[in-house]
Amino acid sequence: MNTRNQSTAMTRRGFLQNSGIGFGGIALASLLQQDSKAGVLAPHIMPRAKHVIYLHMIGAPSQLDLFEPKPELVKRHNQPCPAEVTKDRDFAFIGKTSTLAGSPFKYSKHGSCGHNFSELLPHLAGVSDEIAMIHSIHTEEINHAPAQMFLHSGFGRGGRPSFGSWVSYGLGSENENLPGYIVLLSGPKGGAGTSLWSSGFLPSIHQGIQFRSEGDPVLFLSSPKDHTTQDRRRVLDAVSDLNRQQLAATSDPEIETRIEQYEMAFRMQASVPDLMNLEGETKETLALYGAQPGKASFANNCLLARRLVERGVRLIELYDADWDHHSGLDKRLPEKCKQTDRPIAALISDLKRRGLLDDTLIVWGSEFGRTPLRQGGDAKGNSVAGRDHHKDAFTMWLAGGGVKGGVSHGRTDDFGMDIIENGVHVHDLNATILHLLGIDHERLTYRYQGREFRLTDVHGELIRPILA
């Protein structure tokens, strides 16, 4: 190559870097022209739900003491469990030679549909006709953290995107001033911790954002003392300029995520305080939920969930702790139901009266259920006993958002140990929830490490009888 050619020749990379635009700059310009909160796809099918409120009871409530009366189990309470019932089955803590445990709580039928509710859920029983019961859920994992991750990510170990992150990735958000995926906690995190709302290998903009009920709703969101909004804007503009230069040079999509997150935080400084302030709610509404402004509670979180739906947030997940009743079930379960029964029923009623239930899907459940066998207690069956984990048959329910209220799907045997009709795997549940949001679960995929991943792995069938 001659001297002239050497001085004028330029690699493609050098041209793009020195031209002041580059592929990264082109990509950024394109991204900034788009709605930054849009998802990667238009709905595959007509959506029935625009929002999901997911109520996860950490630790696993006993379906046998809340939703599934088993007269034969009560009749044979404290009798040895037949060997064939536990054959070829593993439990987390108890052995295969066990004692049957009937529920100490009374059941009755409610609504025109005749759903069974125990005496522990009088308020939820009052909205029975809005609820679709699934009595035949089963999963793959027997311990809390893996089962929680399996329910939320389709995989029993960390590293995969959570359900909410998949929804955010697919559909985006309707509100540019709030995240599309928000998490509210009452009590400590589940055994799987923040993995339950992790974005996994999806872009980190799709991870769930935890809002706190006390103090600053989002950590580090407030500006330092004597730091004005104008000061904050100048700092963000300077940081954004640096990030854009780096994006143009590297084309790293995480830098674009960082730019958007800074901008989102700036907008949230104005929108979040108003959202979290319950003082503007009527006394009647606060009483309906049992909510108390300024205090951390599951009831407050249910009311906040309704407010988030009103503001267009796509996915709101409420985690409530302390449902792991290996002992003391006769006292601990009623205490938990007292904390949650009224606000859950209020959430359903409040959404319905505001015209929001039709496009808001409520999902209630946990990582697995509880056995029909007694754990703990003495030979006389004193009330200190509880129940062990049970992955092979448990209950979850859905309401609103395209679900046929009053339906009961699936059935278990006389002890509640095995499914005998219409089994529903966790992958089927997730496929159905995505369907109600307008997403074909087989088409919502992300390429990572050389292959396509999806929430439902290679499984998942729709639970068509519960669809309206």
300, 291 contact by CB (below 8 A): yes
pLDDT at 13 over 80: no
Mean pLDDT of the 202-222 span: 79
217 CB contacts (<8 Å, ≥6 apart)?
Answer: 211, 272, 273, 275, 276
- Residue 342 falls inside a structural domain: yes
- Give 422-435 pLDDT, tens digit per residue: 999 999 999 999 99
44, 443 contact by CB (below 8 A): yes
User: Greater confidence, 269 or 345?
Assistant: 345
Per-residue model confidence (pLDDT) at position 75? 97
Range of the domain at 365: 47-221+294-466
Per-residue model confidence (pLDDT) at position 25? 35
Burial class of residue 206 (count of CB atoms within 10 Å of its CB; 0-12, 13-18, 19+)? buried
pLDDT at 235 over 70: yes
Per-residue model confidence (pLDDT) at position 380? 61
Beta strands in 71-224 (DSSP E): 107-110, 115-118, 131-138, 181-186, 209-211
pTM of the full structure = 0.85
Dist. CA 195–CA 189, nearest whole Å: 10
Q: Report the CATH number at residue 52.
A: 3.40.720
Lowest mean pLDDT among 57-66, 99-108, 236-245, 283-292: 236-245
Dist. CA 172–CA 174, nearest whole Å: 7
User: Greater confidence, 132 or 232?
Assistant: 132
In the chain, the percentage of residues whose pLDDT exceeds 90 is 67
Lowest mean pLDDT among 31-45, 126-140, 175-189, 213-227: 31-45
Per-residue model confidence (pLDDT) at position 220? 59
Mean pLDDT of the 392-407 span: 98
Per-residue model confidence (pLDDT) at position 21? 36
Helices within 154-228 (DSSP H only): 163-171
Per-residue model confidence (pLDDT) at position 249? 86
Q: Which amino acid is at 301?
A: N
Beta strands in 122-240 (DSSP E): 131-138, 181-186, 209-211
- Give 454-463 pLDDT, tens digit per residue: 999 999 999 9
| 9-23, 194-208, 252-266: range with highest mean pLDDT | 194-208
Q: Which amino acid is at 291?
A: A
Neighbouring-strand partners of residue 446: 453
What average pLDDT does the chain have? 87
- Residue 26 falls inside a structural domain: no
Dist. CA 464–CA 446, nearest whole Å: 26
- Residue 189 falls inside a structural domain: yes
Mean pLDDT of the 95-115 span: 93
178, 310 contact by CB (below 8 A): no
CA dihedral 344, 462, 138, 333 (to 10 degrees): 10
403, 126 contact by CB (below 8 A): no
Mean pLDDT of the 285-308 span: 95
Helix or strand (DSSP H, E) at 434: helix 426-436
Give buried/exposed letters for 3-14 (b at 16+ CB in 10 A, else e): eeeeeeeeeeee
What domain count does the chain have? 1
In a 13 Å sphere around the CA of 100, the CA atoms on its Cβ side amount to 20
pLDDT category at 76 given cuts 50, 70, 90 is very high
- Residue 157 falls inside a structural domain: yes
Does residue 140 sit in helix, strand or coil?
Answer: coil
